[in-house]
Chain A
């Protein structure tokens, strides 16, 4: 079975531009998670969805960040406008159910904002 698929793998863009990160969860998984990883702060949960509905977005840093899950097989994380401090690796993960099953991670999107 295919794992969690993220695109693009790398993104380099200039400050102020809109950035859209994409994620396809594992088929049959109904929970989806967006994380951000930096050297300073480690891995942080940004938002998670259950059955396509956002459950907890308390980790979203500010209004410049938004996430959507229009259907069970696709999610986006958008940053508009982007800033250099948004540079990080963004991971998407999915799991079957909310709490008792392991989360499976994609390979991440390495984002650099110049």
Chain B
């Protein structure tokens, strides 16, 4: 059974800092990995999707990397801003026959960027 872990559960940093959010998963047989952002009282917004054949994806100040063999992904946020404050969730799509669309989520990292 796939398990996704995100540690720490919460993080507080001063504005302007570059930061790395970590995600680990137990089963390396995946189709892809997706990073989401969730604001309080809102749904999830997809940030980046990395296919299993890719090593990284970039969007603006965000860069996500994937090391499938070691079961790890990182989300790098450059020059953090107070508007980046949210919960960041990592989700893995496992390559299980008959359930190839199932996303397994970590519990998220709640980020607070202090002005």
Contact = CB atoms under 8 A, between A and B. Distances in A.
Interface of A: 4, 31, 33, 42-45, 48, 50, 55-56, 58, 91, 93, 95, 98-108, 110
B72 interface: no
Given A99-B100, A100-B31, A105 B105 contact: no
Nearest to A9: B41
A103 B105 contact: no
Interface string B16-48: 000000000000000110101000011111100
A98 B100 contact: yes
A103 B34 CA distance: 9
Minimum-distance CB pairs A-B, first 8: A105-B43, A43-B105, A105-B44, A102-B46, A42-B107, A98-B101, A107-B43, A102-B49
A21 B81 CA distance: 36
B42 A107 contact: yes
Nearest to B95: A99
B5 to A, nearest CB: 11
